[in-house]
Amino acid sequence: MEEKTEHVKCLIIGSGPAGYTAAIYAARADMKPVMYQGLQPGGQLTITTEVENYPGYPKGTQGPEMMEDFKAQAERFGTDIRWGLATSVDFTGPVHKVVVDEKTTITADSIIIATGASAKWLGLESEQKLNGFGVSACAVCDGFFFKGQDVAIVGAGDTAAEEATYLAKLCKKVYMIVRRGEMRASKAMQHRVQNTPNIEIIYNTSTKEILGDKTVEGALLVNDKGEERQIVVTGFFVAIGHQPNTGIFKGWLNMDETGYLITVPGTTKTNIPGVFASGDAQDKNYRQAVTAAGSGCMAALDAERYLASIGIH
């Protein structure tokens, strides 16, 4: 297959809130950004329903609609938005190379990474079917919809513990389903969960099926002795970790042991000059649309200053 090469001033990889916000700023700064949207155009918000915590939408909005708005705003200022997945990179020289769909090579003076992270799922068919209809991977986003109701959360790390206590403040009862006989979360977080009266921890148990036709009505659990138990819940949260989408940067960019890109504190600078990281690909703590958007803005400003510093206007 014939290989195409194109040079751009600013390449944005990924199209969630971080990518689109970076695009809005970069386009308005005349950096002529080109964006490759990746596997899931619009990112994680396209698989949620109602978004009520993004400022500026007093009545709330739908995740997919919000991302269409972000996209339209990025396009309004001339961002060149394209289908395509970055499949490899080469950051050897001062001009950075990115290969898209294994065939098109883009060289770029500056790169903004906004590839996000993906929630890990249990892999049940019922989980997929009811995703967005009671099944969620984000308690902070969706917990509010289950106010006063009974919910379940799967996981035993710091995220699950934190989200279980968050849900316990809103919901009547929270079942925390832990697959082993102990939790991985820090002792402090475990104590907080154990001392919250409306959280029932169910150890040595996994989820066989999430029940319900159109919305979640319960879950079928099975313990390590093979005994089954049914719980009645209207919300089912999965908090078994996230995977940052940073595989193609391995060996080029500094990342922590779980793959989150490491940036210079207070900036979006990576260890490669001209390559900036924003959004969930570099944030395992906050992971909110609004924080991702904020760091996308930072990345565009950092890239603009970088281009000026190397004499590219």
- Which of 28, 284 has the CB closer to ligand NDP? 284
Q: Which of 19, 43, 84, 155 touches ligand NDP by CB under 6 A?
A: 155
In the shown chain, the binding pattern of residues 169 to 188 toward ligand NDP, with x for contact by CB under 6 A and - for none, equals ----------xx---x----
By CB under 6 A, residue 130 contacts ligand NDP: no
Q: CB–CB of 4/102 below 8 Å?
A: no
By CB under 6 A, residue 116 contacts ligand NDP: no
Q: Which of 154, 210, 231, 253 touches ligand NDP by CB under 6 A?
A: 154
CB of 285 to ligand NDP, least distance (A): 6
CB of 138 to ligand NDP, least distance (A): 11
Q: Out of 138, 150, 158, 297, pick the active-site residue.
A: 138
Angle at 267 between CA 265 and CA 270, to 5 degrees: 85
Stretch near ligand NDP under the rule CB under 6 A, chosen from 130-138, 149-157, 220-228, 300-308: 149-157
Q: Cα separation of 193 and 163, whole Å? A: 10
Q: Cα separation of 32 and 29, whole Å? A: 8
Torsion of CA 59, 38, 138, 279, to 10 degrees: -80
In the shown chain, the binding pattern of residues 280 to 299 toward ligand NDP, with x for contact by CB under 6 A and - for none, equals ----x---------------
In the residue annotation, 141 being an active-site residue is answered as yes
Residues within window 32-61 making contact with ligand NDP, judged by CB under 6 A? none
Q: Cα separation of 94 and 85, whole Å? A: 22
Q: Out of 80, 90, 109, 141, pick the active-site residue.
A: 141
Q: What residue is closest to ligand NDP based on CB? A: 157
43: Cβ contacts below 8 Å, ≥ 6 apart:
14, 15, 16, 17, 19, 67, 116
Binding residues for ligand NDP, total number by CB under 6 A: 17
In the residue annotation, 171 being an active-site residue is answered as no
By CB under 6 A, residue 64 contacts ligand NDP: no
- Which of 156, 275 has the CB closer to ligand NDP? 156
By CB under 6 A, residue 208 contacts ligand NDP: no
Name the site residues for ligand NDP (rule: CB under 6 A).
Answer: 122, 154-160, 162, 179-180, 184, 206, 240-242, 284
Catalytic residues, by residue number, are: 138, 141-142
